[in-house]
Amino acid sequence: MGGLSIHSDTIGEATRAIVRIAERTNLLSLNAAIEAASAGEAGRGFTIVAQEVKALAMQASQAATEIDEFLSGVRSGTLEAERSFEAIDTAITELAKAATTIRWDVESQRNSADTIEDYARAAADDVGAIAKRSKTLASTASTAKTLSTELDEAAAAMILNVRDLELSTAQFTANLKAS
């Protein structure tokens, strides 16, 4: 769970970096549009490129926002899983205490079948509680897996947007140099 939290923080930092890049790219497109406008008819093609770069920057920013929202869900699922683990740990500790008590009573009172039966029932109840908590944990893990898959898909989409942005920027730069 700690690793998942660290990875989600790392992805969050990368997402913030992408937002900063998108903001800078947006500013670059604005500067290019201004330069294209001042160039008159000769700058008309640059205006179109500047608009495309701006659109790509907005897409990258939107993808980063979506990833940040997915990360919030992952973090929430992680906290829920940690709580479930703590509950399981507490139940296991309680079960261990109950088992120790049962063992002591069995050794001390071999002839008392009623006492052994009572402790066996208590242990069965504890195991049932653990089974219920395990089901909750499995559900939480499934949710975390789903969120992770969604996060992977969003990251892949964001990478495609960044690549498109890089290509558009390279074309834009080449066009500027050619002018």
Q: How many domains does the chain have?
A: 1
Mean pLDDT over 54-79 rounds to 82
- pLDDT tier for residue 82 given thresholds of 50, 70 and 90: confident
Q: How far apart are CA 122 and CA 94, in angstroms?
A: 11
Q: Which of 66, 87, 172 is nearest to 137 (CA)?
A: 87
Which range in 23-37, 97-111, 146-160 is most confidently predicted, on average pLDDT?
A: 146-160
Alpha helices per DSSP H over the chain: 2-38, 44-108, 113-178
- pLDDT tier for residue 1 given thresholds of 50, 70 and 90: low
Burial class (CB in 10 A: 0-12, 13-18, 19+), 170: exposed
Sequence-ordered list of residues with C-beta below 8 angstroms from that of 92, at least 6 positions apart, any chain: 130
Structure tokens at 139: 């559900």
Mean pLDDT over 51-71 rounds to 84
Q: Is the per-residue pLDDT at 169 higher than 60?
A: yes
Q: How far apart are CA 21 and CA 103, in angstroms?
A: 64
Q: How far apart are CA 161 and CA 148, in angstroms?
A: 20
Residue 97's CATH number? 1.20.1270.60
Mean pLDDT over 71-95 rounds to 84
The DSSP 8-state label assigned to residue 131 in this structure reads: H
Q: What is the dihedral of CA 150, 166, 58, 32, to 10 degrees?
A: 180
- Residue-range definition of the domain harbouring residue 50: 2-178
Q: What percent of the chain has pLDDT over 70?
A: 91
The DSSP 8-state label assigned to residue 111 in this structure reads: T
Burial 68-101 (b: 16+ CB within 10 A, else e): bebbebbbebbebbeebeebbeebeeebeebeee
